[in-house]
Amino acid sequence: MNNIKAVGFDLFNTLITVEPHALSLAMDRLILSLRQSGFPIQEEPFKASYQEMAARFIQRSRQEGKETHNRFWISAALEEAGEVVSPEDLRIAEAVEHYFSVFYDYCRPIPGTEGLLSSLRGRYPLGLLSNFTHGPAAREILGRTGLASYFDTILISGELGFRKPFPLVFDTLSEKLGVAKHGLLYVGDDPDSDIYGASMAGLQPVWSTYAMDNNLPLVWAGSDPPGTEIPRISSWQDLLSLLDHEVKTAIS
């Protein structure tokens, strides 16, 4: 690491974790909302179709760099069930809100996160860059977990229209923080989106393995892990030690 001027963070499995059963509860709430809106959907076929459509849209998003949204997956899944509904339909928008409302109660900061951010805020500009389809939900989660106030800029892919590892989002983070990319440290857990993406964009990545080390569900299963040339941390003390070493090296 060299001449760090600002620090950026990923969100999920880097700063916060989600209780594993939240996804199942969110899907139940989504289906209930759609049924209450008059869609006579069958639970298991709809779940399977939704998951298939989500995978299809997300794969396209990864290839093109443009963010997708749950409303497209819901609309496509409903069409599979014989219900032709626009992704912009207000009933789908309501179902999306019900889906994400589950996460407000089941997201938790990784232990020590607020202490870390409080310590770093006096030393560096701090930024958040998260791949999250629904911006309002991401900001609600940040507010409820008490993390929003620590950041000088918060960038959500669902609001930007593009997602990591597309270079534009890292460029935007650098611009918003007012530092050159080579002086921006970026901490994340996903090798593809966070580590390789940040590195290709000219940032200095740090691989956080807290989620992996604690056997939490990983969304990047199957990706090749970064090599030893990328700094790896499994606790916030590891990150502080890296930054302290960088400061001492610069002084000497």
Q: Position 153: which residue type?
A: T
> What is the pTM assigned to this prediction?
0.94
CB neighbours (10 Å) of residue 243?
A: 19
130 membership: H or E segment, kind and range: strand 126-130
Q: Tell me the per-residue pLDDT of 138-157, one tens digit each, with 9 for 90 and over.
A: 999 999 999 999 999 999 99
- Give CA–CA dist 29/132, Å, rounded: 19
Q: Given a cut of 50, is residue 197 above it in pLDDT?
A: yes
- Give CA–CA dist 200/55, Å, rounded: 25
Q: Which residue has the higher pLDDT, 199 or 217?
A: 199
Q: Tell me the per-residue pLDDT of 87-106, one tens digit each, with 9 for 90 and over.
A: 999 999 999 999 999 999 99
Average pLDDT of the chain is 94
Q: What is the pLDDT of residue 251?
A: 36
Main-chain phi, psi angles of 242, to 5 degrees: -60, -45
Q: Give domain limits for the chain.
A: 6-17+110-251, 22-104
Phi-psi region of 154 (alpha: psi -120 to 50; beta: other; left: phi over 0): beta
Q: Give the 3-state secondary structure of residue 172.
A: helix
Domain at 6-17+110-251, CATH class: alpha beta
Mean pLDDT to the nearest integer, 170-197: 97
